[in-house]
């Protein structure tokens, strides 16, 4: 059965965030090393973006490398950085063909120079693409983002560009790495772990959370649609009563 047909196109999330987890365990299960798992993550990314495009989702944000992931063995960190560089280059023609605009969030200045360059190039190349925005969270940590935001807002206050009384939620939104993205409607995490791991804490304030045991390298279009169908069966009340929502 084509699961896409079960989706109500009028009620899809605008912005889906994904914690792509389980590459290491997937590889280990096959008697391979962790890096083999990372290498097999690309198909899942392609399928998710394709599925999202087909149901008119505006934005997909992928947790690709966290601030905490810098603490992994150097060999693994290096492999992840090389994969990032090679995959971005390799996927560029498809991004162009499919109208995918690339964006990034995180402390990008901490990435190797070569990765920064490829990322900037791909962002520039795809900047006029309109179908979907695909954001890579790289060297991203939500707490780091919030610290950075507070510093930038404080500077404006000190320079008298901003009054303290004027600071509101919008001010904060506008200073986060995600300033140009809508709030997260749906967060998907693969591999059975049920935690947020320092991802988009502010932006997920009212997101629906979806956890699946599928390991990221096994994640396909149909799994993505399962998450959307689950999302569409939820009632997002935003503090109101159910009666108020259905009225
Ligand atoms: C997610 O898979 C990818 C990154 C964090 C870069 P993991 O590498 O965390 O895989 P597990 O959780 O060890 O299985
Ligand atoms: C979160 O996965 C980060 C990414 C998916 C990039 P981890 O596998 O690093 O998370 P924890 O440390 O197990 O929570
Ligand atoms: Mg993990």
**In the chain, % of residues over pLDDT 90:** 99
Q: How far is the CA of 222 from the centre of ligand 1 (A)?
A: 21
| Ligand 1 pocket check for 45: Cβ under 6 Å | no
Look at residue 138 in the predicted model and tell me its pLDDT.
98
Look at residue 93 in the predicted model and tell me its pLDDT.
98
| Ligand 1 pocket check for 219: Cβ under 6 Å | no
Q: How many CB atoms lie within 10 A of CB 197?
A: 14
Q: Is 80 exceeded by the pLDDT of residue 183?
A: yes
Out of 33, 56, 69, 174, pick the active-site residue.
Answer: 69
**Residue 21 designated active-site:** yes
Residues 229-240, mean pLDDT to the nearest whole number = 98
Contact predicate 63/17, CB 8 Å: yes
Residues 161-182, mean pLDDT to the nearest whole number = 98
Helices 74-97 and 42-54 meet at what angle, rounded to 10? Answer: 30
pLDDT tens-digit map of 4-39:
999 999 999 999 999 999 999 999 999 999 999 999
Signed CA dihedral, 226, 126, 61, 203: sign only = negative
Q: Is 90 exceeded by the pLDDT of residue 1?
A: no
Pocket of ligand 2 (CB under 6 A): 19-21, 63-66, 68-69, 193, 195, 197
Residues 184-200, mean pLDDT to the nearest whole number = 98
**Residue 69 designated active-site:** yes
Look at residue 247 in the predicted model and tell me its pLDDT.
87
pLDDT tens-digit map of 88-101:
999 999 999 999 99
Look at residue 145 in the predicted model and tell me its pLDDT.
98
Among 106, 191, 211, 218, which residue has the most ligand 1 atoms within 8 Å of its CB, making it the best to mutate?
191
Q: How far is the CA of 192 from the centre of ligand 3 (A)?
A: 10
Q: Which two tokens stand for residue 242?
A: 């159910």
Q: How many CB atoms lie within 10 A of CB 140?
A: 26
178 confidence band (pLDDT: 50, 70, 90): very high
Task: Write down the domain spans for the chain.
Answer: 12-140+183-230
If you average pLDDT over every residue of the chain, what do you get? Answer: 98
Range 12-140+183-230 has CATH code 3.40.1180.10: yes
Q: Which ligand is nearest to the CA of 137?
A: 2
What is the C-alpha separation between 188 and 108, in angstroms, rounded? Answer: 23
């Amino acid at each position: 059965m084509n699961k896409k047909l079960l989706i109500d196109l009028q009620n899809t999330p605008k912005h889906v965030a994904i914690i792509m987890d389980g590459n290491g365990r997937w590889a280990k299960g096959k008697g391979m090393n962790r890096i083999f798992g990372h290498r097999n993550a690309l198909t899942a990314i392609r399928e998710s973006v394709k599925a999202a495009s087909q149901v008119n989702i505006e934005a997909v944000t992928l947790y690709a490398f966290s601030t905490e992931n810098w603490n992994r063995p150097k060999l693994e960190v290096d492999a992840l950085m090389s994969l990032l560089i090679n995959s971005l280059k390799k996927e560029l023609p498809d991004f162009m063909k499919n109208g995918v605009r690339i964006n990034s969030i995180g402390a990008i200045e901490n990435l190797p120079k070569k990765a920064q360059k490829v990322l900037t190039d791909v962002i520039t190349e795809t900047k006029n693409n309109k179908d979907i925005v695909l954001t890579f969270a790289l060297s991203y940590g939500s707490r780091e983002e919030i610290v950075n935001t507070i510093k930038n807002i404080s500077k404006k206050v000190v320079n008298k560009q901003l009054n303290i009384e004027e600071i509101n939620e919008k001010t904060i939104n506008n200073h986060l790495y995600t300033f140009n993205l809508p709030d997260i409607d749906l967060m998907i995490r693969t591999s059975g772990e049920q935690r947020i791991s320092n991802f988009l804490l502010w932006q997920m304030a009212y997101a629906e959370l979806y956890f699946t045991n599928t390991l990221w390298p096994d994640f396909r279009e149909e799994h993505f649609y399962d998450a959307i169908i689950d999302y569409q069966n939820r009632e997002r009340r935003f503090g109101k009563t159910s009666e108020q929502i259905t009225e």
